[in-house]
Amino acid sequence: AGTLVYTAGRYAMDRLGARMSVIVADPGYVSIRVYRSVGFADEETQVRVQRRQPVPPPAPAQTADQDR
């Protein structure tokens, strides 16, 4: 995997004229080790907070009288 990341980065710079590569990775996932192993360095940390959708209240339980 590291060879692929490195080769793609070199191609982008050498052939396509890219001057910078940016990769966004989850710090808790294994792929970040691959990026670091080929020379990428942590420059910025982003944090995202998301509000949960409200959970609707449970439907009222049916009684035996309601089933008739």
Residue 67 belongs to a domain: no
Range of the domain at 28: 2-37
- Looking at the 3D structure of the chain, how many domains does it have? 1
Residue 33 belongs to a domain: yes
Residue 23 belongs to a domain: yes
In terms of Cβ atoms closer than 10 Å to its own Cβ (0-12, 13-18, 19+), residue 34 is: middle
Residue 56 belongs to a domain: no
Residue 20 belongs to a domain: yes
Q: Is 0.75 topped by the overall pTM?
A: no
Q: What is the pLDDT of residues 20-46, one digit of tens each?
A: 888 888 888 888 888 888 888 888 888
